[in-house]
Structure 1
Amino acid sequence: MRPSLLAPVLLLAACAPDASESTAARAAVSGLAPRAASPAPAAQPSWPDLPDFADPRRFMDLDSLQWPRVEAPRPADMQARLAALGIVPVRGTVGGERTGESVRDYHLVDFSGDGTPDVIYQGPPYAMNDGELGTYEGTRLRMWQVRGGRAVEVLDRPTAMQRIYRAQAGAPLRFRAIQYGCCADPAWTMEYYAPYEGGGAVRYSPHARIGGTVALVWPARFWSAPRRFRVNSAGLTLRSGPEIGAGEEWSGWEGHGNALAEYAAGARGIAIAERADATGRVWWFALMDGRTPPRAAMRDDDPAAPVPLDRLGWISSRFLTEEP
């Protein structure tokens, strides 16, 4: 289930890099450093190195793409174009009817920056299992780089591309994607993908992952600049709202009210807003650094993920120490 604030809104996602984007972040896309086919965890020397975090309203806008604004002109026969590249949409017969991936969900976008339109599929996830067509919840993102007239698949993920960042002409794009939980799972994950070279092709791996929940209360007013901090208490709780509340049974952490995670002293984060509750306690809306993980949480991180999960929520400012 998705709250109305998080429901995809069709907005333009192609953009020049934000003025706030760091020099290091721009350099990461202006040239590709050779990396192994299975990349090691990405370094985060200037965490959070996110091109939209310094613009809070834009950061919180979980939008989706308007494909006509970012894709190359579509050929008259898209099916024939895909076939010429060696791409066969996943289709099968269910109940006597032919169904599966639609060519409408295939798009030509030069994500590699080499001047040749590449191919992106974003749509319902289908798969053939023992000759039978199966479908699953959510969205599937597949990307193929076109090289020498043939398509090389470089990404296949259960996620949806939201926003595209291109640093300069001729550079591979970076993008942000959102993955909603399956089967009424209240959790969602935002991922920022950066390019790397693997097997002679432009491939992608997340360099930042942010976890949130449908119960998250978003701030309405923001500071003029973010504030970095560390926890100085023996234990401090990240919550879905700026109060100690009961939370909702279906979307909460059983037995923990509106808590999302519990952090020990030394945990670090960065905040962009504050709000006081009815008792006068001041809460900061914060992004907690996954490199200083919680000691307990409603949602466990994926140990196989390439980078640790940062978490969004509200944390009491009473036991926080600001850092430069």
Structure 2
Amino acid sequence: MNKLLIFLLVQTGICFSQTTFPYNKCDDFDWTTVEIKTPRADREAFISSISKGTFFESYPIRRNEFPDYTHAIDFNNDGKRDFIYNGVYPAEGLLIEFHLNLGDKYKSIFTEMGHFCKIDFKDKIIKTLYIAQPGCCADPTTTLRIYNIEYRNGQFEFTRIFQSTMLTETTIPKKFFDELIHFETINDKYYLRSEPEIKDEPFDDFLEKNGNQIGELTKGTKGVALAEQTDSTGRVWWFVEIFPEHKILNNVFYQDSYFEPNDYGRIVGWISSRFVKRL
């Protein structure tokens, strides 16, 4: 497969595997499953060693908290303690920084915003990152990203392979399908919602939407269903990702006239399973 085709697959959100984002694992990531237990004094020493010229040096009001957000992990199974910082910095949100232990110093190899939902290893080398980034300030959305990590000849390469966006208030199912269901809508004006129920009021002045509506899907919109839930009327709802090439009308994320297929990745929400066909 040539590089151009790989790029197009990543950018359009098309994926032939059954892997997707672990939406139900983002509330409280358990660092003890991946980190090396490290004395606080060692974490303080690490922060001190990288502080010069960084926010660690210029943000003294939170200095005592920095070690609490610092975690030792062996990225490449070389027996050295590398470090991930995932915590506060001088703006809103949480900062993620990876620092590789070179023996005599640390090298920053990756920076992102958000917090972890999951970290995968392969053959004791860090392989995949699942990151959630809630919107800053009054932004009501959360962005989810997956990064693949390649380690070759002593070098790490981080590639974003997945992105989706949802309203932070979206209901997350507790149980997911074993296999994704690919689908296509067969009706126009098919509402994508933040909850598995019909709720068209009251009007939300801030989001400028009715009830739990996210936007309108048109006939022929494609996506994947990850889970289902039945409401009190017996209607079966699917928890879905809408592929990024499809415009969602009157939605809360962007104005129709400013639609760009790859700005938000897949849009996440709930749809009724009644008027869709499986692909």
TM-score normalized by structure 2? Answer: 0.76
CA drift of 1:284 comes to 2.2
Q: Which structure: greater helix fraction?
A: 2
TM-score normalized by structure 1? Answer: 0.67
Give unmatched runs, 5+ long, in structure 1. 1-34, 53-58, 126-134
Maintained 8 Å contact 2:94/2:115? yes
Q: Select 2:218's aligned residue among 240, 264, 269.
A: 264
Give unmatched runs, 5+ long, in structure 2. none
Equivalent position of 1:314 in the other structure: 270
Q: How does 1:238-253 map to 2 (within 5 A)?
A: 238-246=192-200, 253=207
Give the 3-state SS of the residue equivalent to 1:111 in structure 2: coil
Give the 3-state SS of the residue equivalent to 2:253 in structure 1: coil
Q: Output the CA distance in 2 between the equivalents of 1:199 and 1:296.
A: 49
Q: Output the CA distance in 2 between the equivalents of 1:69 and 1:305.
A: 36
Equivalent position of 1:284 in the other structure: 238
Rate the CA distance shift 1:222–1:67 in 2: closer, same or farther, 3 A.
Answer: closer
CA deviations 1:292-313 (Å, max 9, x no partner) are 4434421139999988522221
What letter is aligned with 1:155? Answer: F
Give the 3-state SS of the residue equivalent to 2:126 in structure 1: coil
What letter is aligned with 1:137? Answer: E
Q: Select 1:102's aligned residue among 50, 58, 66.
A: 66
CA drift of 1:230 comes to 0.9
Q: How does 1:1-324 map to 2 (within 5 A)?
A: 43=10, 44-46=14-16, 49-50=19-20, 52=22, 59-74=23-38, 76-84=41-49, 86-88=50-52, 90-91=55-56, 98-100=61-63, 102-125=66-89, 135-147=90-102, 149-169=104-124, 171-196=125-150, 201-219=155-173, 225-246=179-200, 253-271=207-225, 272-276=227-231, 278=233, 281-300=235-254, 308-323=264-279
What letter is aligned with 1:78? Answer: R
CA drift of 1:186 comes to 2.4
What letter is aligned with 2:274? Answer: R
Give the 3-state SS of the residue equivalent to 1:104 in structure 2: helix
CA deviations 1:143-183 (Å, max 9, x no partner) are 122235332212222211222111323x3331211111222
Rate the CA distance shift 1:165–1:281 in 2: closer, same or farther, 3 A.
Answer: same
CA deviations 1:225-261 (Å, max 9, x no partner) are 5422111223422111233313565587414432113
What letter is aligned with 2:71? Answer: H
CA deviations 1:123-144 (Å, max 9, x no partner) are 112xxxxxxxxx2222111112
Q: Output the CA distance in 2 between the equivalents of 1:74 and 1:220.
A: 33
Equivalent residue pairs, number = 266
Q: Output the CA distance in 2 between the equivalents of 1:220 and 1:51.
A: 13
What letter is aligned with 1:65? Answer: F
Rate the CA distance shift 1:113–1:41 in 2: closer, same or farther, 3 A.
Answer: farther
